[in-house]
Amino acid sequence: VNDKFRAATSFDVARLAGASQTTVSLVLGGRGDAGRVSKATQKRVVEAAERLNYVPNRLARDLRRRATQAITIVVPSLQNPFFAEVVGQAQLLADARGYSVNVMVASSPEAERRVLSYLAGGSVDGVMLGVSPEPVADLIRQLIGRGVTCVMAQAGAAVPGVPNISIDLEYGGFLATDHLIRLGHRRIAYITDVDTRTLKYLGYKRALEGAGIAVEGELFALGANTMSGGAVATSILLERFSQADRPTAIFAYNDLMAIGALRVLREAGLRVPQDVAVVGFDGTSLGAFTNPALTTVSHTRNAVVVEVLFKLLEKSADVEEKYEVPITLAVRESCGASIGGRGRG
């Protein structure tokens, strides 16, 4: 009674309204009509709830209902604008459906493990995995076993029962590289934060080989998956070559690294695209505002992932196990297409 920190419960409302908890639950849950509760009682309940500033306790409700109306987005990092955008988009879609969004960052396999074991605790209905789940496929299986709906973006290995929304990374790599080749480039560097055993790289290679251009290991450079990382990788590249040998184009693993590349090139006094062309990946909104505007491999995977998750959650439609989202090349300025080819080759 004199506990300052005790919020009103449905029991309190029931007492004040002279009704039962059941009735309160029914009325406040919006199921007062349907020939269940009389108008008069409904009014009394609503008024009592207002007087007491009653807000149902989510924890109790969710525990009882075995559903939380919440989803979690698992991403490897939030410093990366690409993933920040993912979260933003997901939030928008979730909000429209009355779901709340929880974000977890799984920056390492151990962190990932922790995150998934957290999720097994039943705090969310659905999970969108934006991380590579190979190391934790068994944990994901556990989540499913517990009734947590999962979808994942771009899994290398499929986990049965978990829809996988992917884009054709190999084709994306091909598309970007081929575009550069058509513009006359023959020395096209590739910067990334992972090794060469990726689909994007394979596409890059295929485009080169298709054009009869040798794939040089020297044209490959590593950096972290950040703007700074892109800058680092590009610096390495620039130091590696004499002016004559220098690559005439750089294909970056993603927009973030491409932006870093843009910066280093400018600092080195090189013009983009005239001296070096740059192509990014992901079509982030950022890329439209760089100087020069970034040509990038674009797709709508994020939106699709969230949509599939909600389809599943709301059982509103059948869901495939595998989706492939189409990709396009957003040709802007950094590739030099607008200023014509370069007449090489």
Partner DNA sequence: ATGAAAGCGCTAACAC
Partner DNA sequence: GTGTTAGCGCTTTCAT
Contact 166, 157 (CB under 8 A): no
Alpha-carbon distance 271 to 298, whole Å?
A: 24
> In 3-state terms, what secondary structure has residue 337?
helix
Alpha-carbon distance 72 to 127, whole Å?
A: 5
Residues in 197-236 that interact with a second copy by CB under 8 A = 227
Q: Which residues pair with 219 in a beta bridge?
A: none
> In 3-state terms, what secondary structure has residue 102?
strand
Asked whether position 285 contacts a second copy by CB under 8 A, the answer is: yes
Partner in contact with 197, chosen from DNA, a second copy, none, beta carbon below 5 to 8 Å by kind: none
Alpha-carbon distance 36 to 140, whole Å?
A: 42
Asked whether position 10 contacts a second copy by CB under 8 A, the answer is: no
Residues in 41-100 that interact with a second copy by CB under 8 A = 53, 55-63, 68, 70, 77-79, 81, 84-85, 87-88, 91-92, 95, 100
Partner in contact with 95, chosen from DNA, a second copy, none, beta carbon below 5 to 8 Å by kind: a second copy
Q: Report the interface residues with DNA, using CB under 7 A.
A: 6-7, 9-11, 18-26, 28-29, 35-38, 40-41, 54, 56-57, 60-61, 63-66
Asked whether position 263 contacts a second copy by CB under 8 A, the answer is: yes
CB of 343 to a second copy, least distance (A): 26
CB of 324 to a second copy, least distance (A): 26
Alpha-carbon distance 237 to 189, whole Å?
A: 8
For residue 148, give the nearest of 136, 140, 137 by alpha carbon. 140
DSSP state, residue 56: -
Asked whether position 133 contacts a second copy by CB under 8 A, the answer is: no
Nearest 5°: CA angle at 239, between 234 and 242?
115
DSSP state, residue 146: T
Partner in contact with 324, chosen from DNA, a second copy, none, beta carbon below 5 to 8 Å by kind: none
CB of 8 to a second copy, least distance (A): 10
CB of 315 to a second copy, least distance (A): 14
Using CB atoms within 10 A of its CB, is residue 35 exposed (0-12), middle (13-18) or buried (19+)?
exposed
Residues that bind a second copy (CB under 8 A): 4-5, 7, 53, 55-63, 68, 70, 77-79, 81, 84-85, 87-88, 91-92, 95, 100-105, 111, 117-118, 120-123, 142, 145-147, 227, 259-260, 262-263, 266, 285-286, 288-293
